[in-house]
A and B are shown apart, each in its own frame.
Chain A
Amino acid sequence: MTTDTNLSAGDARLETNGRSPHQIKPEGFKPPKATHRTQHVLPGFHASLGITLTYLSLIVLLPLVALVLRPWEAGLDGFIRTVTDVRVVKALQLSFTTAFWAAAVNLIAGLVVAWVLTRYEFPGKKIIDAIVDLPFALPTAVAGVSLSSLYAPNGWVGSLFDPFGIKIAYTPIGIFIALVFIGLPFVVRSVQPVLAEFDAEVEEAALTLGATPMQTAIKVILPSLAPALITGFSLAFARAVGEYGSVIFIAGNMPYISEISPLLIVIKLEEFDYAGAASVAIAMLALSFTILLVTNFVQVLLSRRGRA
Chain B
Amino acid sequence: MKVKAPEAPKSPAALGLMAFALFWIALIIVLPLINVLFEAFRTGVAPYLSAILEPDAVSAIKLTLLVAAIAVPLNAIFGIAAAWCITRFEFKGKGLLLSILDLPFTLSPVISGLVWILLFGAHGWFGSWLDANNIRIVFALPGLVIATVLVTLPFVARELIPLMLDQGTDEEIAAVTLGARGWDVFFRITLPNIKWALTYGVLLCTARAMGEFGAVSIVSGHIRGLTNTLPLHIEVLYNEYNTVAAFATASILAGLAVVTLILKTLLEWRFADELSAHRRH
Shortest A31–chain B CB gap in Å is 5
- CB contacts (< 8 Å) of B84 on chain A: these are 44, 48
Chain B stretch 90-123: residues in CB contact (< 8 A) with chain A = 90-91, 97, 100-101, 103-104, 106-111, 114-119, 121-123
**A247-273 toward B: CB 8 Å interface, digit per residue (1/0)?**
001000000000000110110010010
Q: Which of the segments B43-51, B129-137, B146-154, B192-200 contacts the partner chain?
A: B146-154
For residue A305, CB closer than 8 A to chain B, the reply is no
Shortest A271–chain B CB gap in Å is 11
**A278-294 toward B: CB 8 Å interface, digit per residue (1/0)?**
10010011001000000
Chain A interface, DSSP helix/strand/loop, else mixed: helix
Do A142 and B3 touch across chains, with their CB atoms under 8 A apart? no
Shortest B238–chain A CB gap in Å is 5
Q: How far is the CA of A35 from the CA of B89 in the complex (A)?
A: 8
**A121-160 toward B: CB 8 Å interface, digit per residue (1/0)?**
1100010111111111111111111110110000011000
- CB contacts (< 8 Å) of B123 on chain A: these are 272, 274
Size category of the binding interface on chain A: 35 or more
In the complex where A112-B24, A141-B234 touch, is A156 in contact with B103 (Cβ < 8 A)?
no
In the complex where A42-B185, A66-B125, A266-B218 touch, is A128 in contact with B36 (Cβ < 8 A)?
no
Q: How far is the CA of A140 from the CA of B229 in the complex (A)?
A: 13
Do A32 and B109 touch across chains, with their CB atoms under 8 A apart? no
Shortest B222–chain A CB gap in Å is 11
Do B261 and A137 touch across chains, with their CB atoms under 8 A apart? yes
- CB contacts (< 8 Å) of B162 on chain A: these are 26
Do A67 and B111 touch across chains, with their CB atoms under 8 A apart? yes
**Which of A33, A48, A109, A141 is close to B213, meaning CB atoms less than 8 Å apart?**
A141
Shortest B190–chain A CB gap in Å is 10
- CB contacts (< 8 Å) of B88 on chain A: these are 34, 38, 42, 44-45, 48
Closest chain B residue to A193, Cβ basis: B278
Q: How far is the CA of A149 from the CA of B39 in the complex (A)?
A: 9
Do B119 and A66 touch across chains, with their CB atoms under 8 A apart? yes
**Which of A59, A138, A277 is close to B153, meaning CB atoms less than 8 Å apart?**
A59
For residue B69, CB closer than 8 A to chain A, the reply is no
Q: Which of the segments A4-12, A49-57, A81-89, A296-304 contacts the partner chain?
A: A49-57
Q: How far is the CA of A60 from the CA of B100 in the complex (A)?
A: 8
Q: How far is the CA of A292 from the CA of B66 in the complex (A)?
A: 36
Shortest A202–chain B CB gap in Å is 9
Closest chain A residue to B235, Cβ basis: A141
- CB contacts (< 8 Å) of A118 on chain B: these are 6
- CB contacts (< 8 Å) of B176 on chain A: these are 41-43
For residue B128, CB closer than 8 A to chain A, the reply is no
Closest chain A residue to B104, Cβ basis: A60
Q: How far is the CA of A27 from the CA of B166 in the complex (A)?
A: 10
- CB contacts (< 8 Å) of B110 on chain A: these are 242, 244, 262-263, 265-266, 281
**B254-275 toward A: CB 8 Å interface, digit per residue (1/0)?**
1011101110110001000000
Total count of chain B residues near the partner, CB < 8 A: 112
- CB contacts (< 8 Å) of A197 on chain B: these are 1, 3
Do A60 and B231 touch across chains, with their CB atoms under 8 A apart? no
- CB contacts (< 8 Å) of A284 on chain B: these are 108, 111
- CB contacts (< 8 Å) of B243 on chain A: these are 149
- CB contacts (< 8 Å) of A278 on chain B: these are 114, 118
**Which of A60, A64, A245 is close to B214, meaning CB atoms less than 8 Å apart?**
A245
- Interfacial residues, chain B to chain A (CB-CB below 8 A): 1-4, 6-9, 11, 13-14, 17-18, 20-22, 24-25, 27-33, 35-36, 39, 77-78, 81-82, 84-86, 88-91, 97, 100-101, 103-104, 106-111, 114-119, 121-125, 146, 149-150, 153, 162, 165-166, 168-169, 172-173, 176-177, 181-182, 185-186, 204, 207, 210-214, 217-218, 230-232, 234-235, 238, 243, 246-247, 250, 253-254, 256-258, 260-262, 264-265, 269, 277-278, 280-281
- Interfacial residues, chain A to chain B (CB-CB below 8 A): 15-16, 21, 24, 26-27, 29, 31-36, 38-39, 41-45, 47-49, 51-53, 55-56, 59-64, 66-67, 70, 109, 112-113, 115-122, 126, 128-147, 149-150, 156-157, 180-181, 184, 193, 196-201, 203, 213-214, 238, 241-245, 249, 262-263, 265-266, 269, 272, 274, 277-278, 281, 284-285, 288
12 chain-A/chain-B pairs, Cβ below 8 angstroms: A49-B91, A63-B150, A64-B103, A66-B118, A112-B24, A130-B262, A133-B261, A139-B231, A196-B281, A241-B108, A244-B214, A245-B109
Sorted nearest first, the 7 A-B pairs with minimum C-beta distance are A242-B108, A139-B211, A63-B115, A245-B213, A26-B277, A244-B214, A43-B182
